[in-house]
Amino acid sequence: MNKTSPYESHWDSTSVSDGIYNLTVVASILGARNNNSILLQVNNIGLHIIITSHGNGDVVSGVMNFTVFSEDIPVGIDNVSFYMDGELIQDGYSIPFSCLWNSTNVLDGVHELTVVARNPIGDEVSTSILIYVKNIPTGPLTLLDVIPWILIIGSTVGVIVGVTIQVLKSINRENNSKLKLGSDVSSISSK
């Protein structure tokens, strides 16, 4: 009981279970009592969000579907916003919370996906991951397209090419027939 102004009291909500509580304030002046009540929502679990479709450091290309798991017990989620490099991509207002994003709209390199979840009572939480965009070239390959992959793969390139040529020669000799390799090369035959 507080008898001096300002009249205030502190309450630790972690001592009770989550739920709705009725808080009643009683004021007494010279024997007259006045009551006032409000409803409080206790939410000790809190709002949280997890990006479930991709992890930090993933290499991506093309159209991506970012999905998240978000919950707030017992209040619920009002909406989830998806941001790429600080720019809003999409807001979601229903489960499942997901967002389509086309990586060809940005330059190759590191980009930050941030997801923000909000509940109806105004709480907000966010999480972020870094992704590496490496879009597959759609036109003819240039030396600049190939060099990064050669550096990653190293000497394995020569081995794969050599083995592939040997296998094609063996198949061709054994079957003594033509091999179709696609629309650009009509056939290979042994001579």
Ordered by where they begin, the domains of the chain are: 47-133 (2.60.40.10), 138-191 (no CATH)
Q: Which residue type, as a one-letter code, is found at position 119? A: N
Helix (H, G, I), strand (E, B), or coil: what is residue 82? strand
pLDDT string in tens for the chain (191-residue length): 667 777 777 787 778 877 788 888 887 777 788 888 888 777 666 778 899 999 999 999 999 999 998 877 556 788 999 999 999 999 998 888 999 999 999 999 999 999 999 988 888 889 999 999 998 876 666 666 555 555 544 544 444 444 444 444 444 454 444 444 443 433 343 34
Helix axes 143-153, 156-175, angle to 10 degrees: 100
pLDDT at 107: 93
Q: Give the C-alpha separation, 131 to 171, whole Å.
A: 42
- Residue 166, judged by CB atoms within 10 A of its CB (0-12, 13-18, 19+), counts as exposed
Rounded to two decimals, the pTM is 0.53
pLDDT at 148: 53
Tokens representing 75?
A: 């209040």
Question: What was the pLDDT predicted at 98?
Answer: 92
Could you tell me if 97 and 68 are in contact, meaning their C-beta atoms sit under 8 angstroms apart? yes
**List of residues 6+ apart from 19 with CB closer than 8 A:** 41, 42, 74
Residues with Cβ within 8 Å of 105's Cβ and at least 6 positions away in sequence, in order, are none
The reported pLDDT for the residue numbered 186 is 37
Q: Which residue has the tokens 């042994």?
A: 190
pLDDT value of position 129: 95
Buried b (16+ CB within 10 A) or exposed e, 17-50: eeeeeeeeeeeeeeeeeeeeeeeeebbeeebebe
CA–CA gap between residue 107 and residue 102 (Å, rounded): 11
Instruction: Look at residues 62, 69, 63, 159 and name the one whose alpha carbon lies nearest to residue 115.
Output: 69
pLDDT of residue 13: 78
